Structure 1
């Protein structure tokens, strides 16, 4: 029998006990379960309670509705808070701090955490799912770290995952914000196994028995991953630390996959030049960092910098508030972003 098990009540996320499983259900389906401060606080409180509860053998993270697990943080609310100043800005900053705390809690949780990355799992959704011990995707999964689209940067420890992807695939995904399939996510290390969506209810029921099954028993990893077929042009174009040079190579690429390279160039040109420049520096740093915690510390520093960044406010406005999809970025091109401004973003 399912029963509520809530350490801190909120209408936006539910907690249930199903046998020996503690189940987190993100419950904002109309917003594709985008995360709010109340949701993050509640999840931290409940996970802290379950970690010392001997009756809870494992945790499952799921999302209500058919669209996806989680589309990310509620950046419209974050933008509004920053613009309001005072308490609103303080709550926006607390959201990022607590969100990163939650990501670290999941990554270091002493019990198995099974994340159901069905449908859209993006941005903050990667934070709560991509660091789980068991990461399931389906044929319906749409995976992305799309923050440069809104003048932000790939946070929630996402660069820790992307930095470990084969070749320069992670750099491509970080700079463009491109969406990949569930099979792609397995291939690049963001997920572990692809399970057909029709099997998910049975998997969740099986978890109630208290034993996290071996990943090999849940599905298979042999599905075609389109992103791997693009490594020739991706690895050739995205090498190095200079975003201007990367964009130039993408524009000028004349191999068999020239059209894909040129499309990537167009995507990067449409993103915030400041965001792209900072993101490239950040993912190169992430390659050198020893662990996820170091990347999350970088995220905390960068989030504070971006809170007052005009491109963040403008990007969210254009994509999600006015929805004209025509942002006016602070810099006209990547070549106009001063190195000193990028350096400053990384200063605590």
Structure 2
């Protein structure tokens, strides 16, 4: 029988316990389950409580879909999370509201908790999985994609960078795939996510409700028995495919953004030239910041990467504040005014100076005052 776990929840996050498993459903389908500060806090509260609760041996998370009435089978999956609530970012950045800082600090702590969770955490990554949605799924023990999965870190399109640990997990993709995904923000399929090491298994979307139900119906003796069930009943027959090298490695392994774009624009393949044209539309400044982020992250622990990203995101909103912020302008053009004509500053890739990039990596805090100082 389903029990409701006694944690305070909002309508945007549904939390329950069935059997020995804690179940989380992101329930903001009209916003593609974009994460608000309240949702981040609900997730953190549930996971913090469950990690020390001996009755809970595993956690599963999914997102609801806009299709179908809430609670009906067709609405239970199909849309994981489109990321952070960028309209909220825009509003509070212009208002000078400190809840913007709270959001990123608490979101990054949540990402770290998931990557280091002591119990099996299963992410049902059906439908859109972007930005902050990647942040709450890439640390999972089992990352399940389907034929409908659409994964991306599209932040350079709004004058931001692939945060939520993006530097860490993208830099661990084969070859220069991390640079390719981070700079372009392209959407990849479940098959590609498997090949790039960003997913563990692919299941038919139609099978997810049964898997979700089975998790709560099983009787587990320990977390080890959950691991055994995952290995034999879930993963068996769906082994991770061989990791693939990127078709654009020859371009995205180059030293600088300008070198990459020049080579792509001069490439004989139309696909490569299209990628070059795509990069010309992204924020020139944040392309440089993102490349530096991913390459620095290759040698960092997750905790150090998140601290670096917390520094960068602070500068995204405070190095130039209000409407002068590259990120505020990018969100305005994409999601507020929807004119899709951001006025990037600098306007061209060629005009970005090294000092402009390096300014994003100077921490505004000391080691003892950093908001993520306690991450280990």
Extract unaligned runs of 5+ from structure 2: 66-74, 221-225, 364-376
Aligned residue among 87, 93, 104 for 1:96: 104
What does residue 338 of structure 1 align with?
A: 353
Q: How many residues align?
A: 336
CA distance in 2 between counterparts of 1:196 and 1:295 reads 34
Contact 2:194 2:241 in 1 (8 A): no
Residue in 1 that maps onto 2:17: 17
Deviations along 1:190-214, whole A, 9 cap, x unmatched? 1111111111111112211242411
In structure 2, the partner of 1:154 is: 162
Q: Distance in 2 between matches of 1:131 and 1:26?
A: 17
- Distance in 2, matches of 1:246 and 1:222, equals 29
List structure 1 segments (4+ residues) > 4 angstroms apart after TM superposition.
none
Change (3 A) 1:273 1:6: farther
CA distance in 1, matches of 2:345, 2:308: 23
1:1-348 aligned at under 5 Å gives the runs: 1-65=1-65, 67-85=78-96, 88=97, 90-208=98-216, 209=218, 210=220, 211-212=226-227, 213-214=230-231, 216-217=235-236, 219-222=238-241, 228=244, 231-232=246-247, 234-254=248-268, 258-289=269-300, 291-308=301-318, 309=320, 310-348=325-363
TM-score normalised per structure 2: 0.86
Partners of 1:120 and 1:272 in 2: how far apart?
23
Matched position secondary structure for 2:134: helix
Shift of 1:240: 3.0
Q: Deviations over 1:88-119 (max 9, x none)?
A: 2x101110110000000111111000000000
Contact 2:159 2:283 in 1 (8 A): yes
Shift of 1:143: 0.2
Q: Unaligned regions of 5+ residues in structure 1, if any? A: none
Is the contact made by 2:152 and 2:186 (CA closer than 8 Å) also made in structure 1?
Answer: yes
Residue by residue over 1:123-167, the C-alpha shift from the partner in whole angstroms, topping out at 9 and shown as x without a partner, is 000000011111100000000000000000000001211111111
- The answer to whether the Cα contact below 8 Å between 2:200 and 2:239 also exists between their aligned partners in 1 is no
